[in-house]
Structure 1
Amino acid sequence: MTKLVMTVDDSRTMRDMLRHTLSEAGYRVVQAVDGVHGLEVLAGESPDVIVTDINMPRMDGFGFIEGVRRSDRHRATPILVLTTESDAEKKNRARRSGATGWIVKPFNPVKLVEAVRRVAA
């Protein structure tokens, strides 16, 4: 069965790059434009992995991760943070919020797919 990856990013270019990279690797992809939209999309989907940005309007990635973790249905879903941020405190905050891993933009497509495969297993 094809695994589903949800991406949450306010940049259309980044969403397009993620969709292309993950689709080419054989994943189905659903997308959201920010944390609020992400939680709305999650109500009807059960992704195997979530990839989220941190800096977004309406609800940032930290709020989104916390919202995902409050849901019994998605509490154990792996969440990879994909961001331009590399600050140790932000990484720690993401981890405390419930993030599984951290990838810095711009991403290497091969490494992104490897990270998704590793946490989706």
Structure 2
Amino acid sequence: MAKTILIVDDSASVRKVVGMALRDAGYEVIEAVDGVDALSKMEDLKKVHLIISDVHMPNMDGISFLKEVKRNPRSKFTPVIMLTTESAEEKIREGKAAGAKAWVTKPFRSPKMLDAVAKLVTP
């Protein structure tokens, strides 16, 4: 059974590229345009095995979304990879403190991202 990965990014092109790489690697992919949309979709899903989220998004940014994910008993142990253009050390520390397991900067290389995904998605 394929593992489910939620991609949260306001850029349709990023969601498309990341989604294609993940689907080609055998994962089931759900897409959301921001943190609010992602939280709504997570309510309907039985299990999300991994979340890949941008930081800078409208309505609810990635760090706020990450904090909400970690507050929810159903998702608090779900690993989160931040995939973002943000590379400021302070923001990276804030993300790690909020519970991010990995921080990948855009532009990214699919093999590097897929390696991070494989390490965080439990078999």
TM-score bracket relative to the smaller structure: over 0.9
Q: Deviations over 1:58-79 (max 9, x none)?
A: 0000110001011000000000
**Runs of at least 4 residues of structure 1 off by over 2 A?**
none
Whole-angstrom CA distance in 2 between matches of 1:40 and 1:97: 20
The aligned length equals 121
Q: Which residue of 1 aligns with 2:2?
A: 2
> 1:33 aligned to 2:33?
yes
Alpha-carbon distance, 1:16 to partner:
0.5
User: What TM-score do the two structures reach when normalised by structure 2?
Assistant: 0.96
Structure 2, unpaired ranges of 5+: none
Q: Which residue of 2 aligns with 1:54?
A: 55
Structure 1, unpaired ranges of 5+: none
Whole-angstrom CA distance in 2 between matches of 1:48 and 1:117: 11
Alpha-carbon distance, 1:10 to partner:
0.1
* Percent pairwise identity: 39
Whole-angstrom CA distance in 2 between matches of 1:92 and 1:42: 25
Q: Which residue of 2 aligns with 1:98?
A: 99
Alpha-carbon distance, 1:115 to partner:
0.4
> 1:81 aligned to 2:78?
no
